[in-house]
Amino acid sequence: MDMPSYTVTERNKVRRVYLRGSYDKEAVFAVIDATPISHVGYVIDGQPYVTPTLVWRQGERLFWHGSSASRMLRTVKTGIPVCVTATLFDGWVMARSGFHHSANYRSAMAYGTAHAVQSAAEKDAALKVMMDGLFPGRWEEIRPSTAQELKATTVVTMEIEQASAKVRTGPPVDDDEDYALPVWAGVIPAATAYGAPVDDPKLTPGIGFPGKLSSLPK
Amino acid sequence: MDMPSYTVTERNKVRRVYLRGSYDKEAVFAVIDATPISHVGYVIDGQPYVTPTLVWRQGERLFWHGSSASRMLRTVKTGIPVCVTATLFDGWVMARSGFHHSANYRSAMAYGTAHAVQSAAEKDAALKVMMDGLFPGRWEEIRPSTAQELKATTVVTMEIEQASAKVRTGPPVDDDEDYALPVWAGVIPAATAYGAPVDDPKLTPGIGFPGKLSSLPK
């Protein structure tokens, strides 16, 4: 990548609570890379749609995928403007007034236009990047993709033209005169937690959970 | 509410994997009520924007709020079309082929137009509903809102004109011939987990975490 930051324009300018905003690519990428499921915004006939989907990154590009029959994918691959938002909820910020209650979070908004990855080989390579990012080692142990599966799958890619990140961390910030109030204040941290793997009821007896997956997913 | 289901049109029709889709209000409300942070989609000059924000429900209406200077709020309160998407990620579905890997999730997409809640009293009442939903008892123990705070806060409300919910649960569904492969398959469950409360470093000594908050948040 050539530049450490995205150019700031009307589109990606962080307008509120500006101290929390960043245009650094590193900050934007960190949020996107920590968020498997992002939200893709697009417009059909003036109506906005927001679809949750698995989004992954390679360099300056985002990728997402699904059935070739998906309306979202058929729409965004025509090169219309798209907004991809990644959000991590990190906890509740409990203040001494309602006004200063808040949430700790990390979010990134990325703007660009998407197009379809064309060849079966390029699609398969992109899907391997997705799988390797989520579950290292998994790609090698599963049954390879078939030509028919790749045909039935649309993979789209979007160069990030502009982006911004916004982060809130830390304790509440109350009005000076409210600190003396007899009210508990602080943070209730939140995070995505993974439970113990549940075997497929149809799993062949004797096949254990792969050790490689134990440190996963992020 | 008069009707148990939303009318299905081109806008809210669930197009893929239709068995997972629902237009039942009960199904839509269940997802929205279980998701504090939703994503609001709106359009400015043809460009979609997707903003994460706290969204709550009262009957057939959604509400969200923020600074009166927020571009998102100043935009959506003009009555333009809006899409509010609530998403819960429930786990990874690990199949024997890449094609059948999936995610368990619950999502709802709600469509309508928003307008600003006008009077200070109505704003404060809406904020109380928000707080009571997240943290029962909290509203009574914090310092009440001031006129200036309510002036600086925009609360918008949107009647849900149409909506749909989409849910995936359960184990992977593999191709018949793949079940014999020596590959682990199953589900890695995921959920939002809350950590132990962290006192504000400026907390007055002797004020403990309120018992009422212990069962919280949802």
**Closest among B5, B2, B55 to B26, alpha carbons compared:** B5
Once rounded to an integer, what is the mean pLDDT over residues A45-66?
98
Q: How far is A192 from chain B (nearest CA, A)?
A: 4
Cβ-Cβ contacts under 8 Å, B195 against chain A: 91, 188-191
**Closest among B51, B38, B52 to B160, alpha carbons compared:** B38
Nearest by CB to residue B48, choosing from A83, A193, A209, is A83
The half-sphere exposure of B21 on its side-chain side, counting CA atoms within 13 A, is 13
* pLDDT the model gives residue B15: 61
Contact: B85, A172; criterion CB under 8 Å: no
pLDDT in tens, A198-215: 999 999 999 999 987 776
Q: Is the pLDDT of residue A17 over 90?
A: no
Nearest by CB to residue B71, choosing from A15, A85, A96, is A15
The backbone torsions φ and ψ at residue B134, rounded to the nearest 5 degrees and listed phi first, read -85, -45
Question: pLDDT grade, residue A36 (50/70/90)?
Answer: very high
**Closest among A90, A77, A156 to A123, alpha carbons compared:** A156
User: In a mutagenesis test of the A interface, which of B143, B149, B212 is the best target, namely the one with the most A β-carbons within 10 Å?
Assistant: B143
Q: Is the pLDDT of residue A110 over 80?
A: yes
B18-213: what fold? Pnp Oxidase; Chain A (2.30.110)
Once rounded to an integer, what is the mean pLDDT over residues A142-171?
97
3-state secondary structure of A27: helix
* pLDDT the model gives residue A218: 47
CA distances from A88 to A37, A40, B78, B89, B199 (A): 10, 15, 29, 12, 22
Strand partners, B82: B112
Alpha helices in A77-137 (DSSP H): 120-134
Cβ-Cβ contacts under 8 Å, B84 against chain A: 50
Q: How far is A4 from chain B (nearest CA, A)?
A: 23
**Closest among A93, A84, A81 to A20, alpha carbons compared:** A93
Q: Which residue of A has its CA nearest to B188?
A: A197
* pLDDT the model gives residue B171: 95
State chain A's mean pLDDT as an integer.
93
Matching residue, tokens 């910030």: A173
CA dist B218 and B135 (Å) reads: 9
Q: Which two tokens stand for residue B211?
A: 């018992």
Q: How far is A31 from chain B (nearest CA, A)?
A: 14
CA dist A193 and A103 (Å) reads: 18
CA dist B2 and A200 (Å) reads: 41
Q: Is the pLDDT of residue A191 over 70?
A: yes
CA dist A92 and B197 (Å) reads: 9
Q: How far is B97 from chain A (nearest CA, A)?
A: 5
Q: Which helix (H) or strand (E) holds A54?
A: strand A47-58
Q: Which residue of B has its CA nearest to A178?
A: B143
Cβ distance B68 to B123 under 8 Å?
no
Cβ neighbours, 10 Å, residue A179: 15
More reliable by pLDDT, B156 or A22: B156
CATH number of A18-207: 2.30.110.10
3-state secondary structure of A144: coil
CA dist B106 and B193 (Å) reads: 17
Q: Residues A119, A122, A128, CA angle at the centre, nearest 5°? A: 140
3-state secondary structure of A145: coil
Which range (A7-16, A69-78, B114-123) has the least confidence? A7-16
* pLDDT the model gives residue A3: 59
Q: Which two tokens stand for residue B43?
A: 């359009």
| Residue ranges for chain B with pLDDT beneath 70 | 1-3, 15-19, 215-218
Cβ-Cβ contacts under 8 Å, B203 against chain A: 184-186
Whether A59 has its CB under 8 Å from any CB of chain B: the answer is no
Strand partners, B44: B47
Nearest by CB to residue B204, choosing from A131, A172, A182, is A182
pLDDT in tens, B158-206: 999 999 999 999 999 999 999 999 999 999 999 999 999 999 999 999 9
Q: Which residue of A has its CA nearest to B139?
A: A98
Chain A residues 180-209 with CB within 8 Å of chain B: 180-204, 207-209
Cβ distance A71 to B35 under 8 Å?
no
Q: How far is A142 from chain B (nearest CA, A)?
A: 5
Q: What does the H/E/C string look like for B57-120?
A: EECCEEEEEEECCCHHHHHHCCCCEEEEEEEEEEEEEECCECCCCEEEEEEEEEEEEEEECCCH
Cβ distance B94 to B184 under 8 Å?
yes
Whether A39 has its CB under 8 Å from any CB of chain B: the answer is yes
Nearest by CB to residue A189, choosing from B181, B183, B198, is B198
Cβ-Cβ contacts under 8 Å, B145 against chain A: 97-99
Matching residue, tokens 């935009």: B75
